[in-house]
Structure 1
Amino acid sequence: MQKSLSFLAYIIPFTVVLFLTQNYLINSVFNQIPFFYSTWSIYLFHVLITIGSYLFLLFVNKTFPDNTGFAFMGFSLVKMMAAVVFLLPLLQSEVKSQIPDVAAFFIPYFLYLFFETFFAIRLINKH
């Protein structure tokens, strides 16, 4: 329980800062570009999948501590497939340039992946 609260104490400010930064950039600098996905939907996806991933890692670490790294790699694969499913409507749409939407999704994706990797390594090293 303590580890999940510690994770939430870091992910919430991380998310708020990233969301406000991206929302500001999209609404002020890139305001001429129509985006397929709203910033809210992108961050809701990232936050839910990252928290779900870390809770799964905590469960695996508690029950099968030697398999935590494998669980992280496996859930990373699931996370990538979920990202493709999330982006599928964009990829099938008639939007002329999908590059801004893909960048608006994958920049936070990799930042959350780095964040999640940092906490997974800490979890694995404590064992």
Structure 2
Amino acid sequence: MQHFYKFLITIFPISIVFFFVQYYISASFFKNTSFYYSTWSIYLFHFILTLISYGFLVFVNRTFFDKTGFAFMGFSLIKMMAAIVFLIPLLQSEVVSKIPDVSAFFIPYFLFLFIETFFAIKLLNNQ
């Protein structure tokens, strides 16, 4: 559980900083663009999904420590599917240019994935 608390203490402030940076960029540089999803809903989605994912990794590491890498790959696939399900309303909408919305979603997706991968590697190296 100690790994999860370290992860939570790290990801929470990083998420807040990333949120405000993206909010400032979208408000300053994309004034005329109307985004389908708000910045807070994107970050809430990523934050919750990343917490669930890393919590699952810590659980697998404690019970089946040799299967942690497989659990990471499997949950990454589940996260990708959840991202597509989250984006289906945008893809089916009448929005003319979907590129800003998709970029606003996938930039934090890869940032959260990088942080989660970094902590998963640390979790695997502690064995």
Asked if TM exceeds 0.5, the reply is yes
Which TM-score applies when normalising by structure 2? 0.99
Q: Structure 1 stretches of 5 or more lacking a match?
A: none
Name the counterpart of 2:107: 107
**How far apart in 2 are the matches of 1:109 and 1:3?**
22
Paired residue secondary structure (2:54): helix
Counterpart-to-counterpart distance in 1, 2:88 and 2:103: 15
Unaligned runs of 5+ in 2: none
Please list the CA deviations of residues 12-70 of structure 1 after superposition, one character each: whole Å capped at 9, or x if unmatched.
11101100000001111111100000001000000000000000000000000000000
Give the CA RMSD over aligned residues.
0.5
Moved over 3 A (4+): none
- Between the aligned residues of both structures, percent identity stands at 65
Shift, 1:2, TM fit: 1.4
AA paired with 1:75? Answer: F
Residue aligning to 1:8:
8
Q: How many aligned positions are there?
A: 127
AA aligned opposite 1:21: V
Q: Which amino acid aligns with 2:74?
A: G
Work out the CA distance in 1 between the residues paired with 2:66 and 2:4.
19
Report the equivalent of 1:42.
Answer: 42
Structure 1 residue 5 displacement after superposition: 1.0
Name the counterpart of 1:76.
Answer: 76
